[in-house]
Each structure stands twice: as structure tokens, then as C-alpha cells.
Amino acid sequence: MTDHTAGSALRRIFIDKQSPKAFHALVQTAEAVRVTAAEAGLDRTTVELINLRVSQLNGCAYCLDIHTRSALRAGESVQRLGVLAAWRDTGMFSDSERAALALAEATTDPADTDAQTSAYEAARQVLTDEQISAAIWVAITINAFNRVSIMSKHPVPSFPKR
């Protein structure tokens, strides 16, 4: 039996390491979704905004760390990342980004059927069917990764201050 305690704190199993075949299947899904998003015309910054917004809603520190750095590498601004949690209250995001973010939020909270209806209505105005599908797949995939990291308690690495 594995010792699940470290001092008085419960040590979690890194489920990605414990079940590598299942995790590899999730990684392959993410790779297919990344291709689908690109083929649909969702740019990399929009994909990263979806990843970040879903990770904010789920409270996944590990994924927030990874996707903040990915968004910055893709050319996203620090200012827009800083206000992402309040995206509805700023004019910094395009109509297509707003539609994608609304779809991501509706996907993350599927019980809110009013939000789903509203998100679809907004998305239909500015996104193609392929882009709507891709945005939802991005949100589904990051939701799955968030749960892997949250349940595993993946640590966020600390980098030296610049």
C-alpha cells in the first residue's frame, strides 16, 4: 500500500503518472483539438484565452501558470491577461474573442442553460460553425486537464523574479 501522507497533509496521486495510457489519450485529444482550432481559424491567442478563462473558473493554479506563459509566447498582452477574469467589463476583447469566452464559460458550467443559449446566440453572430465547435472542444479539453491537475495537486514551479 502506498503511503498517502506527508506529515499531516494528504499526499495526492499524480493521476497522469499513475495512469499514463489514459493521460496519453487526453494529450492526443488535446493535440487533435489544437489542429481543429487552427483549421477552424481560431488563432493561438484565442485558444489560450479560453484555456485561461476555464482554468480561472476551475481554480487550477497549475494550468493557469502553464497557459499564462503560453499566451504570452503567442503574443498576448499582460494587460489583457490581467483583466481576463472581468472580460465582459472591458472593451479590450474582440467580438469573436468574447463569443469564444462565453462559450468556454457555458461549457465549464453546463447546468446554466441560459448561459448556453446566450453564448450560442452571440457566437452565431461572429463565429463559423467550425469555430464554435473548436472553441467548445478547447474548453472541454482544458476542463479535463484542470481536473487532472486539481485532483493530483500538481505543484506550480516557482521561477526567480526578474
Q: Which of 52, 95, 96 minimizes the C-alpha distance to 76? A: 52
Q: What is the pLDDT of residue 1?
A: 35
Amino acid letter, residue 21: K
**pLDDT at residue number 4:** 42
The cell numbers describing 130, all together, are 467550425
For residues 47 and 49, what is the distance between their CA atoms, to the nearest angstrom? Answer: 5
Residue 135 near residue 120, CB atoms below 8 Å: no
At 5, which helix (H) or strand (E)?
strand 5-6
Residues 90, 95, 98, 102: is their CA dihedral positive or negative?
positive
pLDDT for position 10: 76
User: What is the rounded CA–CA span in Å between residue 4 and residue 10?
Assistant: 6
From first to last of its 162 residues, the chain has per-residue pLDDT tens of 343 434 446 788 999 999 999 999 999 999 999 999 999 999 999 999 999 999 999 999 999 999 999 999 999 999 999 999 999 999 999 999 999 999 999 999 999 999 999 999 999 999 999 999 999 999 999 999 999 999 999 999 887 776
63: Cβ contacts below 8 Å, ≥ 6 apart: 51, 55, 142, 145, 146, 149
pTM: 0.91
Q: Quick one: pLDDT at residue 161? A: 75
Domain ranges across the chain: 26-152
Give the CATH number of domain 26-152: 1.20.1290.10
Q: Which residues pair with 9 in a beta bridge?
A: 6
- Rounded to 5°, the CA angle 121-29-62 comes to 85
